[in-house]
Structure 1
Amino acid sequence: MFFTIAVIILVFLVIFQIAKASEYVSVLKGEEKSRAQSNKINGFLMVAFLVLGLIGVYLCNKALYHKTLLPQGSASVQGEKVDSMLWVTLILTGVVFVATQIVLFVFAYKYQENPKRKVFFFPHNNTLELIWTVVPAIALTVLVVIGLRNWFMFTSEAPANALRVEVTGKQFGWVFRYAGKDNEFGKKYFRIIDDAGNNPLGQIWADNEQFRLKADPANNDDIVVQQTMYVVKDKPVQLIINSRDVIHDVGLPAFRMKMDAVPGTPTTLWFTPKYTTKEMKERTGNPDYIYEISCDQMCGNGHYSMKGIIEVVTQEEYDAWLAKQTPNYLVANPPAEPAATPAVPAAKDSTLKPAADSAHTVAIK
């Protein structure tokens, strides 16, 4: 790193010295000759920057590509469409970028000032303007249509067999809620949120005269967990996304999904995981691999720490995990323990005679 920085600084120093030398030459030779010499130097530098730039792009791609998420592929079925859309966009814009940059730098070298060549003014051409307006417009329209089609699919109604998970962002963490045996989420109210009382979502468990709330029995079997969400491989999962304070953003990079978490405005998306967490550890060769849920929206000074974990498991593993969970109502309102039964003193045996020796009596007691 230090070597690279030193080389960059050295290059700038060389350019600076060349520029200063050009100024001195212009004083000695005159303005016309100086300008011609500067044009030659600039033309050469344009070609040099082009070659070095293309080499740099190639080397950066070779060194860093394997560190991106692209070699892993999408971990969700729907995310494959995002990858496909991304590759089309990269190829299309990449070809245009490389072609235009080559033309730009080559033309700067080829058409530098030359006293033997006369300037040709090219003020207007309808055909060319039509081409460079219509062609990009068509290409961008196609990309937008593909993106909208995928977006409408991700945010459409999830399949009937989808696992529903409510995701709530807060500063600075995630709260996940699963419907109980009734498969229905209970109502909640933000003003009765109480972290200390194990009610991070404001579930309505009892009547509240202050806010005119009525108890919702559907809350009594809902399961609430924080920071780690469990989903099932090959089973669609629908996320019902909320925020209890500021705007957050549910980022699922491995699944190629993201969605804003807006206070008071639930949003949804759904996807189908392809690999369990265990399988992804094997695919990536990383024993510490985890599916991460991150906040992709600046949400405060602790934004950097707002990360959660998604555990993708088999149906059997999910059922076993779910069976161990306690409804949040019972966590916040544990049942009272039965009163201890008072001890009954043992009856005295009349056949025993009083101890004659006090020391012996103490020993028995």
Structure 2
Amino acid sequence: MSGFIITTLVILVFVIIYQIGKASEHATILRGEKKVNAQVNRAIALLLVAVFLLGVWGIWACHQYFKDLMLPVAACKTGENYDSMFNVTVVVTGIVFFLTQAVLFWFCYKYQSSDRRTSFYFPHSNKLEIIWTTIPALAMAVLVAIGLKNWLTVTSDAPVNATVVEIVGKQFNWIVRYPGKDNILGKRDFRKINDANNVLGLDWADPRNHDDILSLNGEMHLVVGKPVKLIINSRDVIHDVGLPHFRLKMDAVPGITTTLWFTPSITSDSMKIITKNPNFVYEIACDQLCGRGHYAMRGTIIVETQEQHDKWLATQQSYYAGNNPEATTPAADTTAPAADTTKKITMK
């Protein structure tokens, strides 16, 4: 019954709209078609001007309303460069957008149809086309050059004193690996991956793996003012290491190692003061749709002083020791080697 009533109401609405249209048509004939068209043209021209002004006000109002959701200051020099590039791009494209839209809506008002004006046919102008093609092309070339410069910076070779940290994407969490006292990450073999006791497939035959430290909860510890080189991998599908507070991101691709480097400039404690948020944390987001649990794939970064970092490292156990409690790293043997009794004694 309710469906029949709704259908009837919809039909009635269309009938009413049709009747209003017919009445408007008859009124136009009675009042004079030219006069009515002139009034309609003027009303539309004024409405377009109003739409432009409301649109500009809406852009400003939205910015004011959502400005509290903007990211805080960039937490590294590279991020500051990206912010600068973004601001330049917004200013350049914003000026072009505002001017072109202002001219567009002004033309709609200024050159509305009237008896005093006739159409002007303007077929072609090589000079005009060269101008409106060359200027945007040059502007875009400059913006692209700035972007390439910043991109080549973060993907170039890291400083020799950079800390090396590996981050691996896995549905649906991040695994972080730090080198031990030898400052070298051991070898990995995907055939040795075992979720029970070897989530990254570390090759235990490689002694450089024995002191590596793993964080399975996606927490990364970095030292303020010290360059860090991220070695990025994926264990299953394509992920993306997104570092919004550092204005950086890089794909994590299965079978391909990608890298980037940056230097954290603000500690986590200092950023809590800057943002006036005692619960602030640097986030690691997955910026690539990677499956059902993509929304929950989140890690954190703690930027701390060297002293704090050393204290944290002192409390960490190597992944090898945690999963091989029966194994011990043999100490260096300083005694003389025993005689090999298996060799034959030959007489000269």
Structure 1 and Structure 2 fold alike (TM over 0.5): yes
Is 1:230 aligned to residue 221 of structure 2?
Answer: yes
TM-score, normalised via structure 1 length: 0.81
1:254 CA drift (Å): 0.4
Task: Give 1:246's match in structure 2, choosing from 234, 237, 240.
Answer: 237
After superposition, residues 53-132 of structure 1 pair within 5 angstroms as 53-69=55-71, 72-132=72-132
Name the CA shift for 1:287/1:118 in 2 (closer, same or farther; >3 Å): same
Name the CA shift for 1:63/1:129 in 2 (closer, same or farther; >3 Å): same
Who is 2:52 aligned against? 50
Aligned length in residues: 309
After superposition, residues 1-365 of structure 1 pair within 5 angstroms as 24-30=23-29, 32-69=34-71, 72-197=72-197, 199-205=198-204, 215-226=205-216, 227-335=218-326
In the alignment, is the contact (CA less than 8 A) between 1:25 and 1:34 conserved in 2? Answer: no
SS of equivalent to 1:152: helix
SS of equivalent to 1:166: strand
Q: Distance in 2 between matches of 1:335 and 1:20?
A: 90
Q: Distance in 2 between matches of 1:332 and 1:60?
A: 53
In the alignment, is the contact (CA less than 8 A) between 1:173 and 1:308 conserved in 2? Answer: yes
Q: Distance in 1 between matches of 2:91 and 2:18?
A: 38
1:190 CA drift (Å): 1.4
Name the CA shift for 1:24/1:105 in 2 (closer, same or farther; >3 Å): farther
1:35 CA drift (Å): 3.9
CA deviations over 1:169-224 (Å, ceiling 9, x no partner)? 01000000011112111111112211222x1101111xxxxxxxxx2111111111
Q: Gaps (5+ residues) in structure 1?
A: 1-16, 206-214, 338-365
Q: Distance in 1 between matches of 2:28 and 2:139?
A: 52
1:34 CA drift (Å): 4.8
In the alignment, is the contact (CA less than 8 A) between 2:158 and 2:227 conserved in 1? Answer: yes
RMSD: 1.9
Q: Distance in 1 between matches of 2:23 and 2:59?
A: 36
Q: Distance in 1 between matches of 2:295 and 2:325?
A: 35
1:66 CA drift (Å): 3.1
Q: Which is higher, the Rg of structure 1 or of structure 2?
A: 1
SS of equivalent to 1:221: coil
In the alignment, is the contact (CA less than 8 A) between 2:241 and 2:249 conserved in 1? Answer: yes
**Partner amino acid, structure 1, of 2:201:** G
SS of equivalent to 1:201: coil
